A = this chain, B = another copy of it.
Amino acid sequence: MITDKPAEIAPSAVVYPGTVVGEGVKILDGAVVGKQPALSPRSTAKREELPPAELGPGTIVSTGAIVFAGTRLGARVIVGDQACVRERVKVGAAVVMGRGSLIENDTTVGALTKIQADAYITAYSTLEEHVFIAPCVVTTNDNWMGRTEQRFGNVEGPTIRRGARVGGGAILCPGVEIGEEAFVGAGAVVTKDVPPRVVVVGNPARVLRDVPEDELLG
């Protein structure tokens, strides 16, 4: 671990050599930080030597959570209990990841975004700033579900624009874009792009109305 700043690491936590730790970082019981991926021969994730994990000042990696090598968490990030952040992920300042949530490899998450408990963010996703992902949201990135050669180069996670909100248990199909400040209702199954500042609900999701003015970030 590389730091000359005071940090707080639980005795049962495992921090891999080279991990860069900012001032005031806390790593709680049983957490694992800086592990290298052990990929399946059939995984589509890239294979390369990964640089150490970096944790910004004031960041907390909670009980039983995992942060992979090659990932950079900004300042004051909270990785919830039993959550997991895979390799080559960039997480902005003050992001909160709820208990049990997962951010897969090669994903970018903007500052102030909140990913609630048990939500699943697939590989190659983009979440901009101030996004809200409710509990148990499901995202996907492969229309072929592991079949055909065609899928290689076509794996595409969602793009979730600034200030968008995605409701509990909603499901995003591969490659959809959720527009700025859009609102996806709980349980919606989103099969195509959602325009900015509208509310969508249902399976498949359809536009219901505009997002009320007083709920916009502006």
- Residues on A lying within 8 angstroms of B by beta carbon are 10, 12, 14, 26, 28-30, 32, 35, 38, 40-43, 60, 62-64, 66, 76, 78, 81-82, 84, 86, 94, 96, 99-100, 102, 104, 114, 117-118, 120, 122, 132, 134-136, 138-140, 142, 144-148, 150, 165, 167-169, 171, 173, 183, 186-187, 189, 201-204, 214-215, 217
- A41 and B60 CA atoms in complex are apart in Å by 12
Per assembly, the copies of the chain total 3
Q: Can you add 9 more A-B contacts, CB < 8 Å, to A135-B139, A201-B204?
A: A30-B64, A38-B78, A82-B82, A122-B135, A134-B140, A135-B138, A135-B140, A136-B171, A202-B204
Decide if A171 touches B173 in the complex (CB within 8 Å): no
Interface residues of chain A: helix, strand, loop or mixed (majority): loop
Least distance between A41 CB and chain B CB atoms (Å) = 8
> What residues on B are CB-neighbors of A78 within 8 Å?
38, 40
Cβ-defined contact, A187 with B171, below 8 A: yes
Min CB distance A44 to B, Å, is 11
Judging by beta carbons under 8 Å apart, are A168 and B167 in contact? no
